Amino acid sequence: MYRRAVLLGLCLMKLFSVLDSHPSDNPLLLDQLLAPMENVRKNYTRSSRGCPGIPDADFLRFGFLRTLSQARSGRDFLQQQQEICDTLIQRSSFFDCLHSERRLQFLNETSWELYARGRQSQPTDLLEFFPELEGRGVWAVDGHKIEHACHALRDSKGRQVAPNTLYLLCLHSGLLFNLAAVQGDGRYRHEMPVFRNALPEFLRKEFSHCKGQRAPLCILDPAFNDYEFWQQQALLRQCGALMITRAKDDISPQHFEKRSFDRNDPVNLGIDTDSLVTFAGGQQMRLIQYADPETGICYQFLTTDMELRPGVIAWLYLLRWRIEKVFDTSKNKLEETKAWATGEVARQIQGHFLALTHNLLVLFRGFLESDFGIREEKLEDKRSQHLEQREAAAQAQGLQMNPLHRKMPLIVQLSVQFIRTLRNQIIAKVTFQKALPQIRAMLVAYL
């Protein structure tokens, strides 16, 4: 554990090294926040080019600031930058960037490198309670819809289509990756084929330097379980991925074969049955039936993983809610609710900036914890109180809360108070050292 802590500390030090553009020992808070992104731009991206209008470094910076800014539109953001931050951005150049294939390629590369290298620097493995998952890729997968742009194309019936983007959330680190654009500009698409087509390239990059890697796990919403679902499981296996999803009520397996499991294992608390099931066409899966000891509600989970403890299967699906919390942060705290522009390139660029902004904030919070001992104490206290209330309510009904709730990592969601503090200190152009006491205060207690 000591060696792991040292390695994580070194990764964070490298990611958050002070930028060359601010050689002093006291950089601006914004520069400290963007240091991991600037590090990968300088040292790990190959597609960066010099642009006379908006250099690539500024393109990244402006995209992050717009995502964080609460601006209602692109023109709103430009006006904020000019009148509040004294930064003049050429309007035509700014909007042209959103439709540039070259910028998209550069942003895709930067976003990937930040995600891949950032995962190694997180001070806490959010799945460390399950040792069988150490070193194994585990992602929650879901699509996120936002409002269409004003001049978006319409479908054949004159309706405007809500843009939808597919994301992966690494359940080990809490970092997000923009996998693919699904629909928009008058075109509807189902998420499952998009996911199936985009996943092999993601896995190729993810495990390009790993041999003997165990099959990664994708935790899918039941919406992915459509009429093509069963045929597509074979295709997912071909690209080396296994899946967990919640079973729909109308599943009709043709054959059941119960499997034995350790009922004394605390992880398996609430598991009723673990069965091997066969569907029409010969597809085999495991069907896990779980009764929540706190509420008595029964759930069924399907998985193509044949080895994990059944309780781990149930808990991983429970942890899928974390990607919903990321989308909630985007919508209600960053107020990213509308498409920046029309066209698939612009949709992909916006999706990358949402993931990139989330990851920079998560990495910065990890940096605060590892180097300064600053944590989201107010959220930890709130969660502890909430668990006590749940436990008391369950006991009053003769039930019990699953004790594993207290052992799981506490915090993955970004608090609105933390985001507001960073936003305000960036606008005021405060240095990192000067902003640190205010950041600490906002993480320790509510106003």
Query: In which band, very low, low, confident or very high, does the pLDDT at 232 lie, cut at 50, 70 and 90?
Result: low
Q: For residue 2, what pLDDT is reported?
A: 34
Question: Helices in 214-261 by DSSP H: which ranges?
Answer: 229-238
Q: How far apart are CA 17 and CA 443, in angstroms?
A: 23
Q: For residue 65, what pLDDT is reported?
A: 97
Lowest mean pLDDT among 200-204, 421-425, 435-439: 200-204
pLDDT digits (tens, 9 = 90+) for 56-102: 999 999 999 999 999 999 999 999 999 999 999 999 999 999 999 99
Query: In which band, very low, low, confident or very high, does the pLDDT at 396 lie, cut at 50, 70 and 90?
Result: very high
**pLDDT above 90 covers what percent of the chain?**
68
**Which range in 6-20, 280-294, 333-347 is most confidently predicted, on average pLDDT?**
333-347
Query: In which band, very low, low, confident or very high, does the pLDDT at 4 lie, cut at 50, 70 and 90?
Result: very low
Question: Helices in 281-334 by DSSP H: which ranges?
Answer: 310-318, 321-332
Q: For residue 282, what pLDDT is reported?
A: 67
pLDDT at 255 over 50: yes
The per-residue pLDDT of the chain, averaged, comes to 88
Provide the Cα torsion 143, 144, 145, 149; round to 10°. Answer: -120
Query: In which band, very low, low, confident or very high, does the pLDDT at 5 lie, cut at 50, 70 and 90?
Result: very low
Contact 183, 163 (CB under 8 A): yes
Q: How far apart are CA 388 and CA 380, in angstroms?
A: 12
Say if 90 falls within a structural domain.
no
* DSSP code, position 304: S
Average pLDDT on 159-186 reads 93
pLDDT digits (tens, 9 = 90+) for 113-155: 999 999 887 778 899 999 999 989 999 999 999 999 988 888 8
Beta-strand pair 217-220/138-145: parallel
Q: For residue 410, what pLDDT is reported?
A: 63
Q: How far apart are CA 281 and CA 274, in angstroms?
A: 21
- Largest pairwise CA distance in the chain: 69
User: Which domain covers residue 428, as residue numbers?
Assistant: 376-444
Per-residue CA distances from 162 to 194, 294, 334, 339 (Å): 16, 37, 19, 9
pLDDT digits (tens, 9 = 90+) for 150-159: 888 888 888 8
Q: For residue 309, what pLDDT is reported?
A: 97
* Helical packing angle, 344-372 and 101-119, nearest 10°: 30
User: What are the residues facing 285 on neighbouring strands?
Assistant: 277
In total, how many domains does the chain have? 1
pLDDT at 17 over 80: no
| Among 266, 263, 268, 274, CA closest to 303 | 274
Half-sphere exposure in the Cβ direction for 431 (13 Å, CA): 9
Say if 435 falls within a structural domain.
yes
For tokens 């970092």, what's the residue? Answer: 175
Q: For residue 119, what pLDDT is reported?
A: 87
pLDDT at 9 over 50: no
**pLDDT above 70 covers what percent of the chain?**
88
Neighbours of 373 (CB within 10 A): 8
* DSSP code, position 246: E
Say if 340 falls within a structural domain.
no
Q: What is the DSSP string of 11-48?
A: HHHHHTPPPTTS-SSS-BHHHHHHHHHHHHHHHT-S--
Per-residue CA distances from 297 to 223, 300, 311, 405, 446 (Å): 20, 10, 15, 17, 34
pLDDT digits (tens, 9 = 90+) for 285-333: 899 999 999 999 999 999 999 999 999 999 999 999 999 999 999 999 9
Say if 399 falls within a structural domain.
yes
pLDDT at 234 over 70: no
Neighbours of 392 (CB within 10 A): 10
Q: For residue 406, what pLDDT is reported?
A: 87
Q: For residue 153, what pLDDT is reported?
A: 84
Q: How far apart are CA 216 and CA 237, in angstroms?
A: 10
Q: For residue 211, what pLDDT is reported?
A: 61
Both structure tokens of 244: 């967990």
Q: For residue 412, what pLDDT is reported?
A: 65
Half-sphere exposure in the Cβ direction for 204 (13 Å, CA): 7
In degrees and rounded to multiples of 5, residue 320 shows phi and psi of -60, -25
For tokens 């605060």, what's the residue? Answer: 368
**Which range in 13-27, 313-327, 401-415 is most confidently predicted, on average pLDDT?**
313-327
Say if 434 falls within a structural domain.
yes
Contact 417, 442 (CB under 8 A): yes
Judge residue 335's burial from the number of C-beta atoms within 10 Å of its C-beta, 0-12 exposed, 13-18 middle, 19 or more buried.
middle
Say if 417 falls within a structural domain.
yes
